[in-house]
Amino acid sequence: EPVEDKQALLDFVGNIYHSKKLNWDQRTSACSRWTGVTCNHDNSRVIAVRLPAIGFRGKIPTNTLSRLSALQILTLRSNGFSGPFPSELLRLRNLTGLYLHFNNFQGPLPVDFSVWRNLSVLNLSNNGFNGSIPSSISNLTHLTALYLANNSLSGDVPDLNIPSLQLLDLSNNNLTGVVPQSLSRFPSSAFLGNSISLQNSSSPVLSPTSVPKKKHSSKLSEPAILGIVIGSCTVAFVLIALLLIITNRRKKDNESSSATSQKKGKSTKRMVSDNQEGNNRITFFEGCNLVFDLEDLLRASAEVLGKGTFGTTYKAALEDATTVAVKRLREVIVGRKDFEQQMEIVGSIRHENVAPLRAYYYSKDEKLMVYDYYNQGSVSALLHAKRGENRIPLDWEMRLKIAIGSARGIAHIHSQSGGKLVHGNIKASNIFLNSQQYGCVSDLGLATLMSPIAPPIIRTAGYRAPEVTDSRKLSQASDVYSFGVFLLELLTGKSPVHASGGEEVIHLVRWVQSVVREEWTGEVFDIELLRYPNIEEEMVAMLQIGLSCVSRMPEQRPKIADVLKMVEDIRSVNAGNSPSGGTRSPGSTPAVTPYVGEIGSSSAPH
Ligand SMILES: Nc1ncnc2c1ncn2[C@@H]1O[C@H](COP(=O)(O)OP(=O)(O)OP(=O)(O)O)[C@@H](O)[C@H]1O
């Protein structure tokens, strides 16, 4: 437990009015129980504090939050904080994200911003700040987003030469002069509602107060914000249903807890729901550089990526220019405790070939999981999308790296929880490319949490081991089966279950087995691969591995560690370093099916 950090937080909350009760109890674990608090991996320090719309009123008590010296993220938005800029916060040298928007802060900004060396997002919009924009902001070399809109800032816009800056909003202030060259790359909307003209342009394009000022927009109700989001994001779909359900309670709280709100009569009722709400927190895992809270998620414009077995996945663009994938689960059959336990296991996995779970949210009505967004799409999309058109096919090199990476990821997963963890849903749409373009597996550990009556989606069915189809016996061996199907998919370019011409449905595994049995091995490979010379031996090696993984009997399948060795050896097979058949490690499960033996002798040139 971070004893001192905990005390700092208690000192903070004990010395400021807030209309919404926080479940910060001295006796409970701040790291696992306290709303809005995130700790590092060994729970020795608090690294994030997210307290939007708690109904705080007054000045931030001195010498409280500033003692959280490991703090990286601070969100105090949509409260009623007042007073001058809390310059004590400049002591928080590790801050990457500071969100103070929608408060009533006043007076000038601090002169020297340069202490916040790691700051990536600064949102001070919708306050009453005045004076000029300090040019020391230029020293924030990691800054990606700067929001100063809806204040009373005046003077010239400084020359902010920050190459990393991607998002800028200075609108609705009293700024004058011209847009400096360094900021000319931003759209004019960033400067709207000031008396600024664009450089090299004789006419002032932006007339003063051309847009009505929205001062102290903390008055804006959540529905109004939603309205703006929805209205302005005509192209993007909005997570309306998601938003409405989750915001429902918060909306009520916001209305009455905002400092400017008139309604105070609801407090008793609110207290009751607060107590329940205490547990409905969004939980972040360490290494989550993403700066968002639930409300950021709600305000994000979102697009449906697809519907899967376990729910629907959305792509959500956050206001700091990051994009996340939010998976909304349905039919969770376990209780909160089991769910949280599993999330902790999944969220603690950090491996370059496993997609990191960044955060999750649990409430009675909503269960969300937040992942990084992979903009290249899944291997399924890379493999199958728009075949035939002038797309760039996945070359053999890429497919090898995908196979190696995903095998490494699965091997790592199987080594977790005392060697007991099962992925449960290995398939091409759950495999992505990491920054080195190796395979990276996602969506693990959900199968045991979800309803077994989840509709059997045909896309998933093709990856299921026979014992899973028959009696839902998920195991590491069934993961190996699914991985084998995935290898066959990589080799053939065909989906696990696909229609051939007419209505006939082809099962990839059976099809590959029969083609191989007829000794037409060459026929199985993806025609897109035929253009690459000298890879047949490697393809045959992968075929052998894939077929051994899809052995009917679970105990005949190799262990993933052995599969991994074999996959990693595919290259050396070709380089002639390793004699055919000698690639398996001693002691590995003998899993070569008769078919494979035949391929080995019939196709490998001697
Ligand atoms: N982090 C992500 N980045 C980019 N795309 C993603 C991400 N997560 C999922 N997707 C894509 O969104 C779509 C829907 O994903 P989802 O996981 O909900 O369903 P699925 O993979 O088809 O099935 P299942 O629920 O069984 O995993 C898929 O095309 C998937 O590849």
pLDDT in tens, 309-321: 788 898 887 766 6
Find the range with the poorest average confidence among 270-274, 415-419, 553-557.
Answer: 270-274
pLDDT in tens, 345-399: 999 899 999 999 988 888 887 888 999 899 889 999 999 887 656 667 889 999 9
Write down the ipTM of this complex. Answer: 0.97
The span from the CA of 58 to the CA of 49, in Å, is 18
| pLDDT of the residue at 240 | 38
Mean pLDDT of 14-30: 90
Atom index in ligand 1 nearest the CA of residue 373 equals 3
Nearest CA to ligand 1 atom 31: 429
Q: 134, 157 in Cβ contact below 8 A?
A: no
pLDDT at 32 over 50: yes
pLDDT mean across residues, the chain? 78
- Residue 214 banded pLDDT, cuts 50, 70, 90: very low
| pLDDT of the residue at 247 | 41
| pLDDT of the residue at 221 | 34
pLDDT at 109 over 80: yes
| pLDDT of the residue at 596 | 34
Q: Which of 277-281, 479-483, 579-583 has the highest mean pLDDT?
A: 479-483
The model carries a pTM of: 0.61
Judged on CB neighbours under 10 Å (0-12, 13-18, 19+), 488 is: buried
Tell me how far the alpha carbon of residue 89 lies from the centroid of ligand 1, in angstroms: 40
* SS3 (DSSP) at 80: strand
| pLDDT of the residue at 258 | 36
Any ligand 1 atom below 6 A from CB of 495: no
- Residue 438 banded pLDDT, cuts 50, 70, 90: very high
| pLDDT of the residue at 122 | 92
How many Cα atoms within 13 Å fall on the side-chain side of residue 78?
Answer: 21
- Residue 208 banded pLDDT, cuts 50, 70, 90: very low
Atom index in ligand 1 nearest the CA of residue 312 equals 18
Residue 416 contacts by C-beta under 8 Å, 6 or more apart in sequence?
A: 345, 349
Q: Which of 264-273, 289-298, 512-521 has the highest mean pLDDT?
A: 512-521
Tell me how far the alpha carbon of residue 454 lies from the centroid of ligand 1, in angstroms: 16
Tell me how far the alpha carbon of residue 429 lies from the centroid of ligand 1, in angstroms: 6
Q: Which of residues 484 and 500 earns the better pLDDT score? A: 484
Give the 3-state secondary structure percentages of the chain, helix then strand then coil, rounded to 5: 35, 20, 45
Nearest CA to ligand 1 atom 26: 309
Atom index in ligand 1 nearest the CA of residue 429 equals 31
| pLDDT of the residue at 296 | 65
Mean pLDDT of 226-235: 31
Find the range with the poorest average confidence among 163-177, 243-257, 424-438.
Answer: 243-257
Max Cα distance, the chain (Å): 87
The span from the CA of 216 to the CA of 81, in Å, is 12
Tell me how far the alpha carbon of residue 338 lies from the centroid of ligand 1, in angstroms: 23
Any ligand 1 atom below 6 A from CB of 373: yes
| pLDDT of the residue at 93 | 93
Q: Which of 373-387, 438-452, 545-559 has the highest mean pLDDT?
A: 545-559
The fraction of the chain above a pLDDT of 90, given in percent, is 41
Q: Is 565 annotated as a binding residue?
A: no
pLDDT at 594 over 50: no
Report the relative pairing of strands 80-84 and 73-75 from DSSP bridges.
unpaired
Nearest CA to ligand 1 atom 24: 308
Mean pLDDT of 165-188: 91
The fraction of the chain above a pLDDT of 70, given in percent, is 74
| pLDDT of the residue at 264 | 30
pLDDT at 278 over 80: no
Any ligand 1 atom below 6 A from CB of 103: no
Nearest CA to ligand 1 atom 16: 308
Task: Please report, as a single letter, which amino acid is at residue 401.
Answer: K
Tokens of 127: 């306050």
Nearest CA to ligand 1 atom 21: 429
- Residue 1 banded pLDDT, cuts 50, 70, 90: confident
